[in-house]
Chains A and B, each alone.
Chain A
Amino acid sequence: MTEYSKPLPEITAESRPFWDACARHELLVQTCRACGTVQYYPRGVCAACWSPDVEWTPSSGRGRVYTFTVTHRTQARGFRDELPYVLAWITLDEGVQVMSNIVGVDPGKVAIGMPVRVTFDDVKEGLSIPKFTAA
């Protein structure tokens, strides 16, 4: 396996449960126990009501492409060696948007509204990065 040269997440105590789940190939969102709001990206409080009582809840890992761009020129580490690549916002079935890459699909075939599912890029022991591919 060639070394993963793209940026890696700087995991903190706040985001550790999310990344631990990714290592098990599970995508998590959060649900507020106080007001019921589902949110992504994860954080220590509910973005709607600021209650710290947020619960990690499983995502179906399925959704649709909200928008995307096929990048042909970039200085971004790792990505500049793999042009073109697809950066996208995906709306999960849980109703929240997730930024990610669409992989395993010809960039010319990616379209808004396309059904996608999560796939995990196992970059090293204990670290997997959620990406999306055609469902």
Chain B
Amino acid sequence: MTPQALIAGVHEFPERKTTRSMLEIQALSARAALEDAGLSKKDVDGYFTVAGNPGIGPLPIVDYLNLDPKYIDGTTIGGSSFVAHVNHAAAAIAQGRCRVALITYGSTSRSSGVAVGTRERIAGDYLDQFEALYGTSTVGLYAMVARRHMHEYGTTSEQLAEIAVATRRHASLNPLALYREPITVKDVLASPMISAPLHLLDCCVITDGGGALVVVHPDLARDLRKPPVRLLGSAEAIAHTSAGRRDFLVSAAAESGPRALAEAGVAPRDVSMAMLYDSFTITVLVTLEDLGFCKKGQGGGFVSGGRIALGGELPINTDGGGLSSNHPGMRGIFLVVEAVRQLRGECGERQVKDCRLALVHGTGGALGNRHSGATLILGRS
């Protein structure tokens, strides 16, 4: 089928702790991603990033990069934002609003000492007075979903731990990953309890980081340095408290996943590998169910027995994920970077054999109150 757009270049900023600023990280990443694509700064006519500055969004970074985009998007919906940006870039390209879309991200969460998961979660909005005053934290909001999943389906801490163990095994094959030492299910269960039932090793790491993506019009295929990756399907959704009647075990992936798969004309069984946002182990489990890789409630069994590890039926998060490689606060961009590299066959020791079709799903916000989901289906050239 005809792709909506091509992903022509990607870059992941390699440092996990840096002295560089979030602006510098983005500039260096943009340069590297354009070089990866065989394009240059002057080719960029669309620009996408998260709103770094309340009220004016991307203005400072556009100024810093000295760009003159014809199309600007500052959509900020949590960690999935950059996955959604790919969807938005494809729409803008299809409409003729731009031809070379640059997406960037930079964060210094670790060097600035931000306790991403356990800090007080106050948004400064109307909803705080009904939630934040009860001691909400990101990990607590996800933990409530894990507890409910255990209650309804008998899911165990051991099964959640399997996700952390497989992800760490992948990280051991990624020289850039923050933690590379293999761990066991026992290690996860013995790690300190943060917000029950989630242990420390059920939670993502905190790092600095950033990256960039270059999404282009299909007509540019011949001008690129490497065989581009084709965007075959994309969709997004929001799941929220639904006026007080929410099934918190159903995430936004249940909406965005089927739409993206249908657009690409493929089924979960066709997917070679998946990059699923892993803020916490429970995020992965719920996402796998909602995307249709297994039935609702059967995620615990699905993630066991090596199925989601390299060599298994559905390898996920082959870069080591947020659980072991890097998580500067909004990790969606790395999901796309790794999926593109897998489809290009650039992953060395951690390469998925015969990788033809990758699924990317970003989750932003919190499963336990409100979050966004963005799904992409990517195919190799």
Q: How far is the CB of B243 from chain A (nearest CB, A)?
A: 4
Q: What number of A-B contacts does a CB cutoff of 8 Å give?
A: 133
Establish whether residues B135 and A75, one from each chain, have CB atoms under 8 Å apart when the complex forms. no
Q: Is B122 an interface residue (CB 8 A)?
A: yes
Check A37–B135 contact: CB distance below 8 A.
no
**Could you tell me if A74 and B148 are in contact, using CB atoms closer than 8 angstroms?**
no
B248 and A89 within 8 A (CB): yes
Contact for B144 among A19, A39, A68, A85, CB less than 8 A: A68
Judged by DSSP, the binding face of A is loop
- Which size bracket describes the interface of B in this complex? 35 or more
B194 within 8 A of partner (CB) = yes
Chain A residues lying within 8 Å of B158, measured Cβ to Cβ, are none
Instruction: Give the distance to chain A from B319, nearest Cβ to Cβ, in Å.
Output: 27
**Residue A133 lies at the interface, judged by CB distance under 8 Å to chain B:** no
Contact with A along B143-161 (1 / 0, CB 8 A): 1110110010000000000
**Contact between B144 and A9, CB atoms less than 8 A apart:** no
- Residues in chain B near residue A89, CB distance under 8 A: 144, 248, 368
Residue of B128, B192, B195, B369 touching A71 (CB-CB under 8 A): B195
A72 to B291, CA, bound (A): 32
- Report the count of interface residues on A (CB-CB < 8 A): 48
Is residue A10 within 8 Å, beta carbon to beta carbon, of the partner chain? yes
User: Which of B131, B147, B193, B243 is within 8 Å of A72, CB to CB?
Assistant: B193
Give the CA-CA distance A26 to B135 in the complex, in Å: 22
Interface contact B135-A78, CB-CB below 8 Å: yes
Can you add 10 more A-B contacts, CB < 8 Å, to A38-B244, A97-B241, A101-B134? A12-B126, A69-B197, A71-B143, A72-B195, A76-B135, A79-B135, A87-B134, A95-B244, A96-B243, A98-B130
What 3 pairs between A and B have smallest CB-CB spacing? A96-B244, A9-B129, A47-B243
Q: Which residues of A contact B (CB under 8 A)?
A: 6-12, 14-15, 19, 29, 37-41, 43, 47-48, 66-79, 85, 87-89, 95-101, 112-113, 129, 131
